[in-house]
């Protein structure tokens, strides 16, 4: 039986286009606004949603996503509340894949076995846990796969052909290619280099390859979409959200529309790029 992630990437490939993967932080700037945004993303054009789990020490994240996590934590967001958010989203959307993205510590404290049961029942489809390397697959990756959750691994510009098989060994759903060396939102990816990297990864796996880190504008998204199965946008959406907050970092009536407007522009750009490989 295909997972939601497999089904969605296959549908996008059939349409001859890349998927738009959007990242937002759960609970930013508060639970109610975050849930409203989550519910609005599919209609705006998001094909897959990455939902960031706030953590106090997000080592791979740039300033924008770090700040979003701190806003969420200040507002009381927890891993349990993040699962509640997914459950509430699923009441109105049974098709859009949701991937939880974050770090191992909150899951470890929650309890791996309990977390996997609760995540699956809430409607989570996959996990990206950036601080668990393949050498630690027994900790979470293999149990997650057994529980029916895709475990999505990151490949980077420094992941060479010798390392790549280990990275891909237990990866499921899609491969997340980090297009730059560094933290999220810190640089702009080179579409030519990205295309070459995606081709190299595809020589090792049949999984879709989604490209993220540094994609901020519709033009950049379109350029990446020409050579990837998916385009991931996160920091730009967080920036759009932050720009609407009041002086106390509280949501305003402009908060959700500002993010969905950008998602619509990104979706239009990605959908405008026909991929010959998928036709």
Residue range(s) defining the domain that contains residue 259: 16-270
Query: 10 lies in a domain?
Result: no
Contacts of 211 (CB under 8 A, 6+ apart): 177, 179, 189, 194, 198, 224, 228, 230, 231, 232
Query: 172 lies in a domain?
Result: yes
Pairing of strands 230-233, 98-102: unpaired
Query: 195 lies in a domain?
Result: yes
The strands making up 48-52's β-sheet, listed across from edge to edge, are 150-151, 126-129, 98-102, 48-52, 19-25, 230-233, 209-212, 175-178, 154-155
pLDDT-derived band of residue 277, with 50, 70 and 90 as boundaries? very low
274 has pLDDT over 90: no
Catalytic residues: 50, 61
Query: 248 lies in a domain?
Result: yes
Span 56-72, mean pLDDT? Answer: 86
Based on the structure, what is the number of domains in the chain? 1
Query: 109 lies in a domain?
Result: yes
Write out pLDDT tens, residues 105-154: 999 999 999 999 999 999 999 999 999 999 999 999 999 999 999 999 99
275 has pLDDT over 90: no
Both tokens of residue 120?
A: 């699956």
Query: 141 lies in a domain?
Result: yes
pLDDT-derived band of residue 278, with 50, 70 and 90 as boundaries? very low
Query: 189 lies in a domain?
Result: yes
Write out pLDDT tens, residues 177-205: 998 766 555 567 788 888 899 999 999 99
22 has pLDDT over 70: yes
Q: What is the DSSP letter of 276?
A: G
Higher pLDDT, 183 or 263: 263
- Output the pLDDT for position 193: 86
How many C-beta atoms lie closer than 10 Å to residue 173's C-beta? 26
Q: Tell me the CATH number at 89.
A: 3.20.20.70
């Amino acid at each position: 039986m295909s997972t939601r992630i497999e089904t969605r990437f296959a549908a996008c490939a059939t349409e001859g286009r890349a998927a738009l993967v959007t990242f937002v932080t759960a609970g930013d700037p508060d639970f109610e606004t975050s849930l409203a945004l989550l519910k609005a993303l599919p209609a705006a054009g998001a094909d897959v949603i990455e939902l960031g789990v706030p953590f106090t020490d997000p080592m791979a994240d740039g300033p924008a996503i770090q700040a979003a996590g701190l806003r969420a934590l200040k507002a009381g967001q927890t891993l349990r509340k993040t699962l509640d958010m997914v459950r509430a989203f699923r009441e109105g959307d049974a098709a859009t894949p949701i991937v939880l993205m974050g770090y191992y510590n909150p899951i470890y404290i929650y309890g791996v076995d309990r977390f996997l049961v609760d995540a699956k029942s809430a409607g989570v489809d996959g996990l990206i846990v950036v601080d668990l390397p393949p050498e630690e697959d027994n900790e979470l990756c293999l149990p997650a796969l057994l529980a029916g959750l895709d475990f999505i691994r990151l490949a980077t510009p420094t992941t060479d052909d010798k390392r790549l098989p280990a990275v891909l060994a237990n990866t499921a759903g899609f491969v997340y290619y980090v297009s730059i060396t560094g933290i999220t939102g810190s640089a702009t990816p080179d579409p030519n280099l990205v295309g070459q990297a995606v081709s190299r990864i595809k020589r090792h796996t049949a999984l879709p390859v989604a490209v993220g880190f540094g994609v901020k504008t519709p033009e950049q998204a379109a350029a990446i979409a020409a050579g990837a199965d998916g385009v991931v946008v996160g920091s730009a959406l967080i920036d759009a959200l932050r720009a609407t907050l009041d002086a106390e970092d509280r949501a305003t009536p402009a908060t959700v529309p500002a993010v969905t407007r950008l998602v619509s522009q990104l979706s239009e750009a990605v959908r405008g790029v026909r991929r010959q490989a998928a036709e």
